[in-house]
Copies of this chain bind each other. A is one copy, B any other.
Amino acid sequence: MNNTINASIITIGDELLIGQTVDTNSAFIGQELNKIGIWVRRRVAVGDVWNDIWKALDEESRESKLIIITGGLGPTADDITKPLLAEYFGGKLVVDEKVLAHVKYLFEKVYRRPGPILERNLKQAEVPNVAAVLHNAWGSAPGMLFKKKDTVFISLPGVPHEMKGLMTNEVIPYLLKNMGVQAIVHRTAFTFGQGESMIAEKLIDFEARLPLHIKLAYLPGYGMVKLRLTSRGEHKEAVEQELLPYFEELKGLVKEFLVADEDEPLEVVVGKLLLARKQTMATAESCTGGYIAHLITGIPGSSDYYKGSIVSYANQVKQDLLGVQQRTLTQHGAVSEETVKEMVQGALQQLKADYAVATSGIMGPGGGTEQKPVGTVWIAVGNKDKVATLKLNLRFDRQRNITTAALNALNFLRKFILTNS
C-alpha cells in the first residue's frame, strides 16, 4: 500500500441516517476512485448538523489526502453545508457569475418553469470565495474544490446523476492530472452457481502463492461470486503483464462456474452472445413478473436481440397468449415443468425469437403448499429444436427470490446458447 493515496467520503444529510435514502453515491465514488488507484479508507455519513460536519472534516483530513463530500447542497436543505465550508476554509459566500448564468439558463431554457426563478434556487449560485468551481452541467448546485495544507476537499451535490456527471467529467480528470497516482489493474472472473465457501476451498493454494502486492477479493452477489485480482505498480502495462498468468490460472480453477472474464452483468453477457450469433430472444415470465425483461431492456441496444416478453401473471394469460393447455394447468399446476415447457414454446411462436426462457414459481410470503413450498421455481429455456428445464428451491424473501430466479434463468439461457447454437 505504499504510494497509495488514502481518501475519505463524507455524505451529508439526515435522509441517509434515517435510511430514507440508500447511499448509492458512496458506492459510485468508491468504484471510480478505486479504478484510478485511490483507496477509500473510510466513509462517514453525518446529518445536517454543523458540529458533526465540522468534526467529520477535521477527523477525516487527519489521515486522508482526499476528501469527497456529497449532499447538503439542495435548495431546501437547511443551507448549512455551504456556509460551513466557507467558514471552514476561511472564506465567505459570494455570487459566482458563471454559476448564476448557468442556474438562470437551466430554469429558463431547460426546466422551463413558469414564473420567476425562486430566491432559493438563485442562492445556488453562491460559492465560497476560496473554492474552485467545478461546473455542474447536470443541475444547479455547483461542485467546489478546496485545499487545506496538502489535503484536497471536493464538495459535490447529492443528486446521483449530478454527482456522477461531476465525478466522471471533472473530479477524475483533475485527480489524474494533479495527484500522481499509481497504476492499478483489476481483473475479474465472474462465476455463477457456486457458493463463496466452496470456491474459497478450491483457491486455498492459489491464494497462498499470490505475491504480496496482488490481492484476491471475493465479491458475492445473488447466486454469483466475482473473484477480483488487483495489482499495482508504476507502469500500467508491466502490472497487466505480471497479473495475466495469475488471472489465467484463476479462471482455470473456476472454469466450471465461469460466466465471463470481465465484471459485467449477466444480461450483458447474454446480449453479447446473441449479438455475436445475430440471434434473438424472448421471455415468458410468471413468477419473475417482468424482471428478466427489465434487466435485459436496461441495456442500451438490447432492442437488437430482445423481442419482448409475455408476463403471464394470470393463468388465463398463460392459456390465451402462450397456448398453455388447460389440461396441463389442471394436472400439473402453474408451477410445474410441464407448464414452463409450454410457456417456452408459446413464447418462441408468439414473439418469433430464436430462444425463449420461461419462469413459474411461488415467491412468497404466501402461496406455498406441502408439495410446492415457497421458493419452488421452474425455469425452461428452448429454441425450435429443444427445451431444457431447471428447478430451483429458493429460501429468501420475495424480492430476493425474484432476483435470484431471474439471474438463474439468464445463466441457464447463457449455457443453453453456448451448447445449442
Option from B22, B113, B289, B301 in Cβ contact (under 8 Å) with A23: B22
- Please state if B23 and A26 are interface contacts (CB–CB under 8 Å): yes
- Please state if B28 and A19 are interface contacts (CB–CB under 8 Å): yes
**A23 CA to B23 CA, complexed, in Å:** 6
Interface residues of A in 1-37 (CB under 8 A from B): 14-24, 26-32, 34
Measured between C-beta atoms, what is the minimum distance from A74 to chain B in Å? 7
User: Which residues on the B side are within 8 Å of A297 (C-beta)?
Assistant: 289-291, 311, 313, 402
**A395 CA to B161 CA, complexed, in Å:** 10
Stretch among A45-53, A127-135, A376-384, A411-419 lining the B interface: A45-53
**A341 CA to B182 CA, complexed, in Å:** 56
Stretch among A144-152, A302-310, A323-331 lining the B interface: A302-310
Measured between C-beta atoms, what is the minimum distance from A351 to chain B in Å? 6
User: Which B residue sits closest to A22, measured CB to CB?
Assistant: B27
Quick one: given A161-B396, A298-B399, A314-B308, are A18 and B40 in contact (CB under 8 Å)? yes
**A293 CA to B303 CA, complexed, in Å:** 18
Quick one: given A45-B42, A302-B313, A311-B311, are A30 and B26 in contact (CB under 8 Å)? no
User: Which residues on the B side are within 8 Å of A198 (C-beta)?
Assistant: 113, 118
- Please state if A200 and B75 are interface contacts (CB–CB under 8 Å): yes
Interface residues of A in 365-421 (CB under 8 A from B): 365-366, 395-400, 402
- Please state if B399 and A197 are interface contacts (CB–CB under 8 Å): no
Does A317 interact with chain B (Cβ within 8 Å)? Answer: yes
Does A94 interact with chain B (Cβ within 8 Å)? Answer: no
Does A236 interact with chain B (Cβ within 8 Å)? Answer: no
- What 0/1 pattern do residues 210 to 226 of A give for CB contact below 8 A with B? 00000001110000001
- Please state if A41 and B52 are interface contacts (CB–CB under 8 Å): yes
Interface size on A, residues (CB 8 A): 94
User: Which residues on the B side are within 8 Å of A59 (C-beta)?
Assistant: 59
Does A208 interact with chain B (Cβ within 8 Å)? Answer: no
User: Which B residue sits closest to A350, measured CB to CB?
Assistant: B321
Does A364 interact with chain B (Cβ within 8 Å)? Answer: yes
User: Which B residue sits closest to A196, measured CB to CB?
Assistant: B76
User: Which residues on the B side are within 8 Å of A316 (C-beta)?
Assistant: 307, 352
Measured between C-beta atoms, what is the minimum distance from A50 to chain B in Å? 13
User: Which residues on the B side are within 8 Å of A20 (C-beta)?
Assistant: 27, 31, 217, 219, 226, 228
Does A255 interact with chain B (Cβ within 8 Å)? Answer: no
- Please state if B31 and A27 are interface contacts (CB–CB under 8 Å): no
**A316 CA to B280 CA, complexed, in Å:** 13
**A26 CA to B108 CA, complexed, in Å:** 39
- Please state if B161 and A397 are interface contacts (CB–CB under 8 Å): yes
Does A104 interact with chain B (Cβ within 8 Å)? Answer: no
Quick one: given A23-B22, A23-B23, A396-B161, are A200 and B76 in contact (CB under 8 Å)? yes
Q: Show 8 residue pairs from A and B whose CB-CB distance is below 8 angstroms, ordered by the A residue.
A: A19-B40, A20-B217, A43-B44, A43-B45, A293-B293, A293-B294, A308-B321, A309-B313
A-B contact sample (16 more), CB < 8 A, given A17-B39, A309-B313: A14-B217, A15-B217, A17-B40, A17-B43, A19-B30, A41-B49, A44-B45, A75-B196, A164-B397, A289-B296, A297-B313, A301-B366, A307-B316, A308-B313, A310-B310, A321-B351
